[in-house]
Chain A
Amino acid sequence: MKPGQTAVISGFTDAELSVKLLEMGFLPGTAVRYNFMAPLGDPICVSISGFDLSLRISEAATITILD
C-alpha cells in the first residue's frame, strides 16, 4: 500500500497476533488507512476507526486486505 491509501481488512495470517489486532479494532471488513512510515521504514502509522496506531511491518504483514 502507498501512503494515504485506504483498504479493507479481509483477515489475518497469524492466530496469536490476530487476537490482539482484533481488540485494537482491526476487524474484517473495517477500512484501514496507511498514513506514513517511520524514517527508517519501520514501523508504520495506520488509521483505523478514527484513531492512529503504530504497527511494525511484521505485524502489519499478518493482516490481509481485499484486492
Chain B
Amino acid sequence: MEATKKIRIALAGKPNSGKSSLFNQLTGLNQKIGNFPGVTVDKKIGYTNLHSSLEAEIIDLPGIYSLYPRTLDEKIVTEVFVDDKSAYYPDAVILVADATNLKNCFLLLTQLIDLQLPVVLALNMMDLAARSGQSIDIKKIEKQLDVPVVMINARTGSGLAELKQALVGAAHKPSKKIYTIPEEIQPVVQQVRTHFNLRSDYEAYQFLQQPDNILALKKDDRELLKTWAKEHAFFPAKYQGAETVIRYGFIQQLLNEVTMRLPSADWKKFSYRIDRVLTHKVGGYFIFFGLLFLIFQSVFAWAQIPMDFIDQTFASLSGWMNGVLPPGPFFDLITQGVVPGIGGIVIFIPQIAILFAFISILEESGYMARVVFLMDKVMRIFGLSGKSVVPLISGFACAIPAIMATRTIENWKERLITIFVTPFMSCSARLPVFTILVALIVPDDKLLGFFNLQGVVLMGLYLLGFFAALLSAALMKWMIKTRERSFLMMELPTYRMPKWSNVGYTIIEKTKAFVFEAGKVILAISIVLWVLASFGPPHEMKQAEDTVRQQARTEGLSEQQMDDRLAAARLEHSYAGKLGKVLEPAIAPLGYDWKIGIALVTSFAAREVFVGTIATIYSIGSTEDTVTIKARLKSEINPTTGGPRFTPAVGFSLLVFYTFAMQCMSTLAIVKRETKSWRWPLLQLVYMTGLAYLCAFITFQVLK
C-alpha cells in the first residue's frame, strides 16, 4: 500500500476575509488547538486529505495585512513565513483574499511571493464583488503574478475541490519578484543571506527588518543583525515605508489591468443605513446596553436547566460510586475529591457556551467592531481601549477565555490593564455564593412594587465589580508609564448574517479552553483541598470522633445526624480547619469566625467551593440544596452576641469580599501565561484580595 504523504499548508489573509470559514470547511471537526511553543498564541491545526494518498496539515494563522505584525497574535505569522527553519514553515500557502477589497489583500500576497513561498490565491466573496458590479480577470492575475488562482465561497464550501487540486498540482515557487531590494542595502542583505543560509533575498531583508520577531534566532544572532543594520545605515522604518509604497504601486497597476469596472459602493448602502441606527448618538448606546441586558438574562435563564441537570448527575454518580466501591481513603478520594471536582468544572459549561454563542454571533455579524467604535472614547478615560469591551463582557462568564481574548489589543499597556481588571467582573463562579448569601440576608420583598429586592442586590453586586474594574483601570493608567503608542486602526466590516457553523466552532473552542485550562487547575486544587479537609493530626482526629460518638449516644441522635456531626468534627480538626482557626484573628474584624475562615481557605482556589464547605461545616451533610443550607445558616447562633451568626453586616461583608477577592488559581495561571511573568498575577492577587479585605472591613464596621 502506498504510504500517505503529508504536507503542511498555512492559511493566511487579512481579518474578515473568510479565513476561519475556509479552515472550518476544509478540516471540519478534525482540528485541534494548541500553543506555539514559547509564545502564547493559539495554534489552530486541522487535517484534510488533498487526495487519497496525500494528507495536508493546515495551520490557521491570525488575520494580518502584512508581514509586519501589530499585535502579539500577528508575530507568529512573521515567524512562520519569514524563518524557513521554523518548525511550522509551510510547504504551501493559501492566501484567502476578499474579492471586494483586493487591494489590501494583495499586500501580503506580494510579500509571500517575494519570500518565494508556493502560494495559491483563493478569491473569496466573489458573489459580493459581483453584486458591486466588479468583475475580475483571473487568468490575468495568474499570469501576472505566476500563482494559481481559485475562486471559492468559504461560506458554502464551493470551489474547495479546485482549491485542493491547485495545491497538489499547480502550487510552485513563484518566479516573480515584486519588490526589488534597493541597491544601497544589497551588500548587507547578501551578507545576511549567506550567513544564515536563507532561501531568498527578501527573507534576508526581513531578518534585518525585524530580528526580534523571529523567535528561533539566538540572542547573539539578533544582536549581530542589529549591528549589521546599523553599520550599513539600514533604517527599518524608512525601508518599510518605501517598500509599502512600491508594493501598492504595483498592486494598483495590476488591479487596473485585471478589474473590469470600478466598484460602486451602492451595495454598501444597506450597511450604512444600519450603521446610522446602531451608532446613533443616543440609540447606539441604548441598543448596546439593551443587548447586554438581553444576553445576561438569557445566559442565566437558559443555563439553569442544564446546570441543574449536571449537578444532579454528578451528585448521583458520586452517590452511586460510594455504594459500589469498597470504602477506603483511595476510593474516598475518587468519590469525594475527583468526581465532585470534575462536576465543579462541567457545571460552568452551559453558561460559558451560551455567552460565547452570543459574543460569536455579534462578532460574525460585524456588530462587535461597532461596539469597539462606540466604546473606545469612554474606555480610554480608564486607560483601556475599545477592544477591551469584549474581554470585559466575557469576564462575566469566566475570566479565563476573557483574558485570552485580550490578545487582539495592540497596545501592551491597554492589554495589561484589561488583563488586570477583568477578574473583577463577576464571573459565573461567584453566582452560587451570591445566590445563597443574598437569599439569606435580603428579604424576598418587592421594591417599588415590581422589582425583586434580591434581584436588585444581585445586580448591584455585578455593578460593584464592574466599577471596581473601571476604577482600578484608571489607577493603573496613572501608575504605568509607557512610551508605546496606542492606536485603534480597525476595519469596520460590512454587516452580514452570521455563519452558524462558525458560531458553533467558536463555542466548542472557548469551552475547550475553559475545560482544559481552568479544569486542570480546579481539579488539582480540589484534590489538594479534599486532602487538607479530610486529614488532620491522627490523634486529634480520633479524639474528636470519639467525643462526637459519645455525645451522640447520650443525646440519642439518629445515625444520619451523627454522621453529619462527625463530618463537621472531622473538618474542624483537619488541616483546613486548623488554617481557619489560625485565620480567625485576622478575619474577626470582617465579622467572620473560624467556620467562615475554613470556607475562605477552601474557596481560595475556586470561589464556588464556598457553598459545599459551608454545607459540610454546619453538618448538613453533603447537600448543596439552597433551601436546606439557608435554613441552617439562619439558625446559626453567634456565641458572643447570642444573636444570629449571619447578620446582614456579616452577609454583606462576605458579599463584598467575594466580589473583589482574587480567588481563582486558574485565572492566576492564565495571567502568568499571558504576561509571561509572575509579577502581574502576584500583584493582582495582593491588590484584589487586599481591596476585598479593606472593603469587607468597612462594610462590616459600618453596618454592625
Give the interface size bracket for B toward A: 35 or more
Are A36 and B275 interface neighbours, CB within 8 A? yes
From B65, B280, B372, A23 is in contact (CB under 8 Å) with: B65
Complex Cα gap A41–B265 (Å): 25
Are A59 and B265 interface neighbours, CB within 8 A? no
Contact code string B70-104 (vs A, CB < 8 Å = 1, else 0): 10000000000000000000000000000011011
Are B374 and A25 interface neighbours, CB within 8 A? no
Least CB separation from A56: chain B residue: B488
Least CB separation from B285: chain A residue: A39
Contacts of A25 in B (CB 8 A): 103-104, 248
From B104, B372, B489, B494, A20 is in contact (CB under 8 Å) with: B489
Are A54 and B272 interface neighbours, CB within 8 A? no
Q: Known contacts A53-B492, A54-B492; decide if A23 and B485 are in contact (CB<8 Å).
A: no
Complex Cα gap A18–B243 (Å): 13
Residue B490, interface by CB 8 Å:
yes
From A28, A51, A56, B491 is in contact (CB under 8 Å) with: A51
Contacts of A41 in B (CB 8 A): 377
> What is the interface of chain B mostly: helix, strand, loop, or mixed?
helix
Are A43 and B66 interface neighbours, CB within 8 A? no
Are B279 and A39 interface neighbours, CB within 8 A? yes
From B240, B241, B373, A38 is in contact (CB under 8 Å) with: B373
Interface residues of A in 1-59 (CB under 8 A from B): 15-25, 27-28, 35-36, 38-43, 45, 47, 49-56, 59
> What is the interface of chain A mostly: helix, strand, loop, or mixed?
mixed
Are B491 and A43 interface neighbours, CB within 8 A? no
Complex Cα gap A59–B493 (Å): 19
Q: Known contacts A23-B66, A24-B489; decide if A16 and B107 are in contact (CB<8 Å).
A: no
Contacts of B455 in A (CB 8 A): none
From B68, B280, B487, A56 is in contact (CB under 8 Å) with: B487
Complex Cα gap A27–B250 (Å): 13
> Which of A21, A25, A47, A50 is most buried by chain B, counting CB atoms within 10 A of its CB?
A50
Q: How far is the CB of A43 from chain B (nearest CB, A)?
A: 5
From B248, B369, B487, B488, A27 is in contact (CB under 8 Å) with: B248
Q: Known contacts A18-B241, A25-B248, A42-B376; decide if A49 and B101 are in contact (CB<8 Å).
A: yes
Contacts of A45 in B (CB 8 A): 275, 279, 373, 492
Complex Cα gap A47–B264 (Å): 13
Least CB separation from A57: chain B residue: B377
From B248, B265, B376, B377, A50 is in contact (CB under 8 Å) with: B265
Contacts of B492 in A (CB 8 A): 45, 52-54
Are A55 and B244 interface neighbours, CB within 8 A? no
Are A23 and B487 interface neighbours, CB within 8 A? no
Please, how many residues of chain A have a CB less than 8 angstroms from a CB on the other chain?
32
Contact code string B343-377 (vs A, CB < 8 Å = 1, else 0): 00000000000000000000000000100111011
Least CB separation from A59: chain B residue: B487
Contacts of A20 in B (CB 8 A): 70, 487, 489
From A36, A47, A59, B488 is in contact (CB under 8 Å) with: A59
Contacts of B244 in A (CB 8 A): 19, 22-23
Q: Known contacts A22-B241, A38-B374, A40-B377; decide if A53 and B68 are in contact (CB<8 Å).
A: no
Least CB separation from A44: chain B residue: B373
Complex Cα gap A41–B374 (Å): 10
Contacts of A17 in B (CB 8 A): 485, 487
Complex Cα gap A47–B265 (Å): 10
Contacts of A55 in B (CB 8 A): 488-489
Residue B195, interface by CB 8 Å:
no
From B237, B276, B282, B490, A19 is in contact (CB under 8 Å) with: B237
Residue B481, interface by CB 8 Å:
no
Complex Cα gap A51–B263 (Å): 11
Residue B284, interface by CB 8 Å:
yes
A-B contact pairs, 12 of them (CB 8 A): A17-B487, A19-B237, A20-B489, A23-B244, A24-B104, A24-B489, A39-B281, A45-B279, A50-B100, A50-B265, A53-B490, A59-B489
Q: Which residues of A contact B (CB under 8 A)?
A: 15-25, 27-28, 35-36, 38-43, 45, 47, 49-56, 59
Q: A19-B68, A52-B493 are in contact. List 17 more A-B contacts (CB 8 A).
A: A16-B485, A20-B487, A22-B248, A23-B244, A25-B248, A36-B279, A39-B281, A39-B285, A40-B377, A42-B377, A43-B373, A47-B265, A49-B104, A51-B101, A54-B373, A54-B376, A59-B487
Across the A-B interface, give the 8 residue pairs with the lowest CB-CB distance, nearest first. Answer: A52-B492, A22-B244, A39-B281, A40-B377, A42-B377, A51-B101, A49-B103, A54-B373
